Amino acid sequence: MAGLSPSERRLQKELMSLMKEPPPGVEVDFDLAEQNLLHWIINMEGAAGTLYEGERFQLQFKFSNKYPFDSPEVTFVGNNIPVHPHIYSNGHICLSILTDDWSPALSVQSVCLSIVSMLSSCKEKQRPPDNAFYVKTCNKNPKKTKWWYHDDSV
Amino acid sequence: MGNCLKRSTTDDISLLRGSDSVRESSSEQLGPPNYQEPLPIQAASPVYHPSPSVTRSVAQLTEEEQVKIAKRIGLIQHLPTGLYDGCKKARECVICMVEFLVGDALRYLPCMHTYHMSCIDDWLMRSLTCPSCMEPVDAALLTSYETN
């Protein structure tokens, strides 16, 4: 672990713990993360008994050298973006812990669990009402979006 | 002696010329990007975070932000510190995810959560909240003064 920056040291620890005890339905692409600790791809499965059962998704995590003081940039990528009222069709996720409510005590694992639980509590698969406008006008980095968090039910 | 002096003056001139030409060429190449990349600013002067996602050098801070940060530094200094003595209640710093070692410098927040001093100070300079329970540190500090 010598020669790693503090953020890389912490990411290395998180990677090891996800390898040893992966949370259900969450699987990290270890080879990719080992190559570049600041860029992870996570494969996620829709939980059984939910609207997303049997679906597979890919989450991308990008970390800055200020992690964990700076929140990771988290988006859905690949060809299956979950249809959910808080997930835009370009993969951006409206979730307060990813920006305003981020804390350095949170981790990749806790972010993944939050997203799994956000998917699981969904009652009706639909895109956010402003999807078309947002996707056309937003910055590529979701952290640059001034999110309005107004609905905790899903 | 005379020799030394003479030599140093010629050296000085050549150095000045050298540095001038270096400066010119570097400003041509790096001029515009310097304003966008945070790294050169960081090297020149400390950076501050009026809120967690905002990074500014001292010169870029508004007066309001300067006051906010000065108050924050004052408050942080009032939070108790100590050295880890092997106590079993706190074992790991959740910020760096490294176990405490006897002799590590710690800081205790009013909510009783404990972190490495360097880790938590870095966070408190961005946000005066406990990373574990999200309790605002300033409010908790005031209540602890009132009750004591």
Domain spans of chain B?
1-36, 37-147
Which residue on chain A is closest to B97 by alpha carbon?
A10
CA separation for the pair B116, B81 (Å, rounded): 9
Half-sphere exposure of B39 (CA within 13 A, CB side): 5
What confidence category does residue A56 fall into, taking pLDDT thresholds of 50, 70 and 90?
very high
pLDDT at B21: 42
Residue A87 domain-assigned?
yes
How does pLDDT run across A3-53, given as a tens digit for each residue? 889 999 999 999 999 999 999 999 999 999 999 999 999 999 999 999 999
- Please give the average per-residue pLDDT across B32-41, as a whole number: 49
Q: Is A94 known to be catalytic?
A: yes
CA–CA separation, A77 and A62 (whole Å): 12
Give the pLDDT mean for B75-100.
91
B23–chain A nearest CA distance, Å: 29
Q: CATH code at A76?
A: 3.10.110.10
Instruction: Tokens for B39, please give them.
Output: 């790294």
* Model confidence pLDDT, tens digit, residues A115-142: 999 999 999 999 999 999 999 999 999 9
**For the domain bounded by B37-147, which CATH number is listed?**
3.30.40.10
Alpha helices by DSSP H, chain B? 2-34, 38-44, 63-77, 117-124, 137-147
- At residue B92, the 3 state secondary structure works out as strand
Domain count, chain A: 1
Task: Using CB atoms, pick whichever of B52, B95, B98 lies closest to residue A102.
Answer: B52
The full 3-state SS of A79-93, as one line of letters, equals CCCCCECCECCCCEE
Q: Tell me which residues of chain B, numbers 8 to 67, contact chain A at a CB-CB cutoff of 8 Å.
A: 52-53
8 Å CB contact of B132 and A70: no
Taking an 8 Å cut-off on Cβ atoms, the answer to whether A69 and B122 are in contact is yes
**Residue in A closest to B118 by C-alpha:** A6
Are A43 and A56 spatial neighbours (Cβ–Cβ below 8 Å)? yes
Assess B77–A contact: CB distance below 8 Å, yes or no.
Answer: no
| Spatial contact of B116 and B82, defined as CB atoms under 8 Å apart | no
Give A127's contacts (C-beta < 8 A, 6+ positions apart).
A83, A84, A85, A87, A88, A89
